[in-house]
Chains A and B, each alone.
Chain A
Amino acid sequence: MSNSLYSMLDVHSPANGVQQIQLHRPEALNALTTAMLGELALALDEAEANESVKVVVLTGSARVFAAGADVKEMAERDMVGILKDPRQQSWQSISRFPKPLIAAINGYCLGGGCELAMHADILIAGTDAKFGQPEINLGIMPGAGGTQRLVRAVGKSLAMQMVLTGQPINALQAKEAGLISEITQPELTLTRAMEVASQIAKKSPLALRLAKESILKGMETDLSTGLRFERHAFTVLAGTKDREEGIAAFLEKRPAKFTGQ
Chain B
Amino acid sequence: MSFQHILYSVDSGVALLSLNRPKSLNSFNEAMHLEVREAFKQIKSDKQVRVLVLTGEGRGFCAGQDLSDRNVDPTADAPDLGISIEKFYNPLIKAIQALPMPVICAVNGVAAGAGANLPLACDLIIAARSAKFIQAFCKIGLIPDSGGTWFLPRLVGMAKAKEMALLGEPVSADAALEMGLVNRVVDDELLRQEALTLAQHLATQPTKGLAYIKRALNQTFDHGLEEQLLLERDLQRLAGQTQDYREGVAAFMAKRTPEFKGE
Contacts and interface: CB of A to CB of B under 8 A. Distances in A.
B30 interface: no
Contacts of B234: 184-185, 188
A124 to B, nearest CB: 13
Contacts of A191: 237
Nearest to B219: A127
A28 to B, nearest CB: 21
B231 interface: yes
A185 B215 CA distance: 10
Contacts of A244: none
B209 to A, nearest CB: 13
Nearest to A187: B238
Interface in B210-263: 215, 231, 234-235, 237-238
A222 to B, nearest CB: 37
Counting chain A residues whose Cβ lies within 8 A of the other chain, the interface size class is under 10
Contacts of A187: 238
Contacts of B215: 185
A35 B253 CA distance: 54
Contacts of A185: 215, 231, 234-235, 238
Interface string A185-198: 10110010000000
Interface in A160-193: 184-185, 187-188, 191
A185 B236 CA distance: 11
A204 B87 CA distance: 52
A47 B231 CA distance: 34
Nearest to A191: B237
A187 B235 CA distance: 9
Contacts of A188: 234, 237-238
Nearest to A192: B234
A191 B234 CA distance: 10
Contacts of A184: 234
A3 B56 CA distance: 55
B111 to A, nearest CB: 30
Contacts of B237: 188, 191
Which of A184, A185, A188 neighbours the largest number of chain B CB atoms within 10 Å of its CB? A185
B208 to A, nearest CB: 10
B98 to A, nearest CB: 9
B99 to A, nearest CB: 14
Nearest to A185: B234
Interface of B: 215, 231, 234-235, 237-238
11 contacts: A184-B234, A185-B215, A185-B231, A185-B234, A185-B235, A185-B238, A187-B238, A188-B234, A188-B237, A188-B238, A191-B237
Given A185-B235, A188-B234, 5 more contacts: A185-B234, A185-B238, A188-B237, A188-B238, A191-B237
